[in-house]
Amino acid sequence: MTAQHAVFGHPITHSRSPFIHAAFAQAEGIALQYRAIDADLETFPAALQAFFADGGRAANVTLPLKEAAFALCASHGHAAQRAGAVNTLIWREQHWHGENTDGSGLVRDLTSRHGLDLRGCRVLLLGAGGAARGVAPALLDAGIDELVVANRTASRADALVDAMGEPGRVISAYWEALDEQGDFEIILNATSAAHGATPPPKLPSSLVNSRTSAVDLNYGAAAVPFLAWANAAGCRKQIDGLGMLVEQAAEAFHLWHGRHPDTEPVYAQLRAQLL
């Protein structure tokens, strides 16, 4: 029987997840149907129920639904529990179980594909939504020295900092006062500003030192504004979120099927499509 899978989000037509999981399934010899379902915060619960009624038992969740997905799950994996956000759903023991593979996918991409050593780094995390919550715990577990969280709504940054439970190591900063924060080895954009009509606020070049790498969790056109700033500011590396997308999908695939697919062929195909 063909397994029913889906990715939920809004907007969702741009999603590469159906392609990625179809490629993984073909390589691993698994029969799988994977589709994209457009759902916003209001329609997501009903859309998930309809997916379940149609035989769906495993799914991914993207913007803006990761925190809503957490609330719909009766149990959570460690990474999801710590993040308060879910990007992977599994039907288990008569309920939805939530996992979060964003952080492990990001760390795997940065360290294995791009050769970054995260240990001892000072990291600036821009944004405090579901994407930021998904990657913050994994960055801390990877051995970074300090995580500074900045969000245009300061209370959201404070809430993320509180959720991490490491005062002194994880702190919040006012976006308007980023020029007072010194420099960072990694500047990570986890905002969704490029997906909407409002451009991201201008960042000061004082955030950059000779070792700074800029990382955007977005990819394609959505990553262009931040990475253009990073190039102009002199960041040593400019990395988009395509590799993270593939790696977090591989982690989800492993949770569902017990196999970890080879990610390089799929990453190479997607990178060629973006050129």
Which residue ranges are tagged as binding site for NADP(+)?
Answer: 127-131, 151-156, 217, 241
The residue behind tokens 């002199």 is 234
Residue 168 tokens read as 């002194």
Active site residue 237: no
Which residue ranges are tagged as binding site for shikimate?
Answer: 15-17, 62, 87, 102, 219, 248
Q: Distances from the Cα of 87 to the Cαs of 5, 68, 210, 217, in angstroms?
A: 13, 10, 34, 14
Contacts of 223 (CB under 8 A, 6+ apart): 189, 194, 216, 240, 241
The residue behind tokens 């759903």 is 89
Dist. CA 184–CA 212, nearest whole Å: 6
Query: What is the CA angle 20-42-71, rounded to 5?
Result: 75
Which residue ranges are tagged as binding site?
Answer: 15-17, 62, 87, 102, 127-131, 151-156, 217, 219, 241, 248
Of the listed 10, 66, 82, 133, which one is catalytic? Answer: 66
Residues identified as active-site: 66
